[in-house]
Amino acid sequence: MIDQVSRVRPTEKANVVIRRDGKEQSLEATLVGYPADVPKELPTSVIEADSKKLAEKDDGKVEGDKKAEGSDKPRTGRFGEEIADSKNAWWACVPESYNPAYAYSLLVWLHPPGDTLEATVYDLWKSEAERRGIILLGLKAANLGTGWQANETEFVHDTVAAFQKKYSIDAGRVVLHGYDKSGPFSTHLAFKHRELFRGLILAASPIAERPPENLPEYRLQFQLICGSKDSAHPILERTAGTLRSIKFPATFTSVPDLEHRYPNAAGVDAMARWIDSLDRL
Which residue range forms the structural domain that includes residue 120? 53-276
Claim to verify: residue 137 and residue 14 sit in the same structural domain: no
Claim to verify: residue 9 and residue 130 sit in the same structural domain: no
User: Is pLDDT of 190 > 90?
Assistant: yes
Interval 227-240 mean pLDDT: 97
Inside any domain, residue 44: no
Burial degree of 166 (CB within 10 A; 0-12, 13-18, 19+):
middle
User: Is pLDDT of 57 > 60?
Assistant: no
Interval 230-257 mean pLDDT: 95
pLDDT value of position 39: 64
Higher pLDDT, 55 or 236: 236
Interval 221-235 mean pLDDT: 97
Give the CA distances from residue 263 to residues 54, 124, 135, 233, 272, in Å, rounded to whole numbers and listed in that order.
35, 9, 19, 13, 12
User: Is pLDDT of 11 > 80?
Assistant: no
- Which of 11-25, 92-106, 141-155, 198-212 has the lowest average pLDDT? 11-25
Distance CA 249, CA 55 (A): 43
Claim to verify: residue 102 and residue 222 sit in the same structural domain: yes
Phi first, then psi, for residue 264 (nearest 5°) are -80, -165
Q: Are the C-beta atoms of 116 and 140 separated by less than 8 Å?
A: yes
Question: What pTM does this model have?
Answer: 0.82
Each residue's pLDDT tens digit, 92-121:
999 999 999 999 999 999 999 999 999 999
- How much of the chain exceeds pLDDT 90, in percent? 67
pLDDT value of position 251: 95
pLDDT value of position 44: 64
pLDDT value of position 1: 47
Average pLDDT, the chain: 86
123: Cα separation from own chain's centroid: 17
- Which of 61-65, 76-80, 111-115, 207-211 has the lowest average pLDDT? 61-65
Question: CB within 8 A of 257, min separation 6: which ones?
Answer: 227, 228, 229
What are the DSSP calls for 225-241, one per residue? Answer: EEETTSTTHHHHHHHHH
Q: Which of 183, 177, 189 is nearest to 208 (CA)?
A: 183
Q: What is the CATH number of the domain that holds 198?
A: 3.40.50.1820
Inside any domain, residue 142: yes
Strands 23-30 and 13-20: antiparallel
**What's the structural domain count of the chain?**
2
* Extended beta strands in 116-216, E state: 134-140, 169-179, 199-203
User: Is pLDDT of 78 > 60?
Assistant: yes
Claim to verify: residue 255 and residue 182 sit in the same structural domain: yes
Inside any domain, residue 39: no
Phi first, then psi, for residue 135 (nearest 5°) are -95, 130
Inside any domain, residue 205: yes
Claim to verify: residue 159 and residue 242 sit in the same structural domain: yes
